[in-house]
Amino acid sequence: MSTTTTSPDTYSELLSKIESRTAVCGIIGLGYVGLPLAGALHDAGFPVVGFDVDPNKITMLNAGESYLKHLGDELATGLRDSDRFEPTADFSRLSECDAIIVCVPTPVGRHLEPDLSYVLDTARAIGRTLRKGQLISLESTTYPRTTRDEFLPALLETASQRLVSGEDFFVAFSPEREDPGRKTHNTKSIPKLVGGLDDKSTELATKLYSAGVAKVIPVSSAEIAESAKILENVFRAVNIAMVNELKVLFDRMDIDVWEVIEAAATKPFGFMPFYPGPGLGGHCIPIDPFYLTWKAKEYGLPTRFIELAGEVNHRMPEYVVKKCADALNQRSKPIRGSRVLIIGMAYKPNVDDTRETPAVEIAEQLMELGADVAYHDPHVAKIKGLRKYPGLEMQSVTLTEASLADLDLVLIATDHDAVDWSLIGRKASLIVDTRNAMTRASDVCATVVKA
């Protein structure tokens, strides 16, 4: 990695602020990544300014209320009661910050092309108040060379003065690795990768993150850090696609894929269990691999594994709907007019995160076929304003013995711990289970079809 000649005053002054915990940290995007990171840096002793374009988030944080249920109100209350944290929608205040961390979405478009508009608009906003002695770290997952070739130029595009990266200000990439709802790891304990556009940027970002995160691993460049994050998500997407494909095959062969995985997992080496489901959800796995497939075209190389994995995983909701139709057909009932209850709208257990959730796509497909669809989710009270389905509005219904007995089919899309699986097993008559959830229930009287 090339070494930049840096003004000792600019670098040393910023380093001193970070080491003394007096550097003002600005977090842009107070969502699943930004809010817990703001908490971690605040707990480390830094003054933190949180930026978000959603005024509702600012209002709730000022009231000490969390809009992310898996984090609880304790974090929000602690931030509210501190004189070292302030949420704001005023981006002109970025000039007050010595370190700015960008945690904004990187979605894909209708044709799976990368949408960097949030990242680049944020870079331009930072550029308008860019000054000497600032560190900017990008955490949003993207394809290799984004930080150097697109984020940095966007920063400089709106800068009011001539500033030199690695000399007057510093830029790094440190990919988020959040997994909402996971109990074994959190923002403070998940190892953090850091790669700068130059040595000094790497050193400053490593020092900053080390204050709030237990283990920080510097790498030789921003490109290594960007590529590592993409590799992590491609690895998961490909393996999930493989087990989803095997699920379909084993189902046709009348073999229980869940028991197969459990048996294979007894091997103490050379095997890592992945589990099938109704499709991919969340912000990372359904989206991030396509950033690399798009970038690969610039180099004239096909990414066949990634594209095939995407095809398999994106077909799973359609497969689940067909299993529902087949199960109803066995009872001489068409989908049209059937009363279907979906258990779980969140994309994964025990969180309220509905980003890219396959449950919504399944609901849409069932409704298009004429089913009367409702859902129950203890963590998601209502569905409204989703990116892919902006017109869809639904509210969670209550599970009762009477309501379950009145259904034609219960479809399990998400296996939340808070769901009464035994009640479902006793009172539902027909269940399509995409998560092997009914193994938790006792006294199952219903017909259970695994999907």
pLDDT of residue 3: 46
Q: Alpha-carbon distance 217 to 213, whole Å? A: 10
Same domain, 268 and 214: no
86 and 200 inside one domain: yes
Both 209 and 288 in a single domain? no
pLDDT of residue 389: 84
Q: Are residues 431 and 324 in contact, defined by beta-carbon separation less than 8 angstroms?
A: no
Indicate if the pLDDT at residue 24 is higher than 80. yes
What's the whole-number mean pLDDT along residues 28-48? 97
Phi, psi of 17 (to 5 degrees): -65, -40
Does residue 252 fall inside a structural domain? no
> Is residue 230 scored above 50 in pLDDT?
yes
The secondary element (H helix, E strand) that includes residue 384 is: strand 382-384
In the predicted structure, residue 7 carries a pLDDT above the cut 80:
no
**Helix-helix angle 222-252:304-329, to 10 degrees:** 30
Q: Are 75 and 131 found together in one domain?
A: yes
Same domain for 299 and 430, yes or no, is: yes
Which pLDDT score, from 0 to 100, does residue 183 have?
Answer: 82
Q: Which structural domain, as residue segments, surrounds residue 168?
A: 8-220
Res 282: pLDDT: 84
d(CA 74, CA 66): 8
Whether residue 35 is found in the same domain as residue 171: yes
Query: Could you tell me if 193 and 268 lie in one domain?
Result: no
In angstroms, rounded to a whole number, what is the distance separating the alpha carbons of residues 389 and 196?
38
> Residue 167's closest CA among 150, 152, 151?
152
SS3 breakdown of the chain: % helix, strand, coil, rounded to 5? 40, 15, 45
Considering the domain boundaries, does residue 239 fall inside one?
no
> What are the pLDDT digits (tens) for 97-107?
999 999 999 99
Distance CA 349, CA 182 (A): 9
Mind listing the pLDDT tens digit for each residue in 263-274? Answer: 999 999 999 999
Position 8 scores a pLDDT of: 59
pLDDT at 84: 97
Q: Quick one: 200 and 277 in the same domain?
A: no
Which contiguous run of DSSP H or E holds residue 43? helix 34-43
- Do 169 and 312 lie in a common domain? no
Q: 258 lies in a domain?
A: no
- Residues 309-351: tens digit of each pLDDT: 999 999 999 999 999 999 999 999 999 999 999 999 999 999 9
CATH number of the domain encompassing residue 423: 3.40.50.720
The verdict on whether 284 is a catalytic residue reads: yes
pLDDT at 1 exceeding the cut of 70: no
Give the pairing type, strands 382-384 and 372-376: unpaired
Which of 220, 237, 272 is where one domain is finished? 220
Mean pLDDT over 137-162 rounds to 96
- Please report the pLDDT score of residue 388 as a whole number: 80
Average pLDDT value for residue range 198-222: 98
Q: Give the percent of the chain with pLDDT over 70.
A: 98
- For range 80-108, the mean pLDDT: 96
Catalytic choice (25, 284, 324, 445): 284
DSSP summary character for residue 398: P
Lowest mean pLDDT among 6-15, 146-155, 258-267, 431-440: 6-15
Same domain, 52 and 112: yes
Would residue 75 count as lying in a domain? yes
Number of domains into which the chain is organized:
2
Question: What's the rounded Cα separation, in Å, for the pair 95 and 92?
Answer: 7
296 CB neighbour count, 10 Å cutoff: 15
Which element (helix H / strand E) includes 263? helix 257-264
Domain membership of residue 186 (yes or no) is yes
What's the pTM value of the predicted model, to 2 decimals? 0.91
Mean pLDDT of all residues in 345-374 = 95
What was the pLDDT predicted at 268?
Answer: 96
Question: What pLDDT shows up at residue 73?
Answer: 86
Share of the chain above pLDDT 90, in %: 86
pLDDT over threshold 70, residue 236: yes
Which phi and psi angles does 299 have, rounded to 5°?
A: -100, 5
Kindly tell me if the per-residue pLDDT of 2 is higher than 60.
no
What average pLDDT does the structure give for the chain? 94
